[in-house]
């Protein structure tokens, strides 16, 4: 069964931190930690001038003040429980004074 955006959103909320699609409104960003998620691109299965199977590449961005191993592990375990393969990238955003861990998934 394919995971929907609604199911993904519901599951991400179980982490107990604020979540938004793509971005927060101006002056609405909550205090850290929080998650943003959004569709990067589609990679549909296509043949014979048709899209047979929709596949979206989705980014889940976890923002924290410093490296948060516990929260990152919770997100990793959540994705594993949903049987969603993922790749992980991370970096320090010095100008924003925050840490980002990016999970890329396909749904």
pLDDT in tens, 7-59: 999 999 999 999 999 999 999 999 999 999 998 877 766 677 877 667 789 99
Residue 92 has pLDDT above 60, yes or no: yes
Residue 90's contacts (CB-CB under 8 Å, 6 or more residues apart) are 67, 99, 100, 101, 102
pLDDT in tens, 53-84: 677 899 999 999 999 999 999 999 999 999 99
**pLDDT tier at 1, thresholds 50, 70, 90:** low
pLDDT of 41: 73
What is the percentage of the chain residues whose pLDDT exceeds 70? 94
């Amino acid at each position: 069964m394919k995971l929907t955006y609604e199911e993904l959103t519901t599951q991400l909320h179980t982490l107990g931190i604020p979540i938004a699609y793509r971005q927060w409104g101006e002056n609405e960003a909550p205090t850290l930690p929080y998650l943003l998620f959004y569709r990067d691109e589609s990679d549909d299965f296509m043949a014979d001038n048709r899209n047979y199977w929709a596949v979206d590449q989705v980014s889940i961005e976890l923002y924290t003040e410093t490296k948060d191993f516990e929260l990152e592990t919770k997100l990793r375990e959540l994705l594993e429980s949903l049987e969603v393969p993922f790749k992980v990238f991370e970096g320090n955003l010095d100008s924003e004074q925050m840490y980002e861990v990016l999970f890329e998934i396909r749904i």
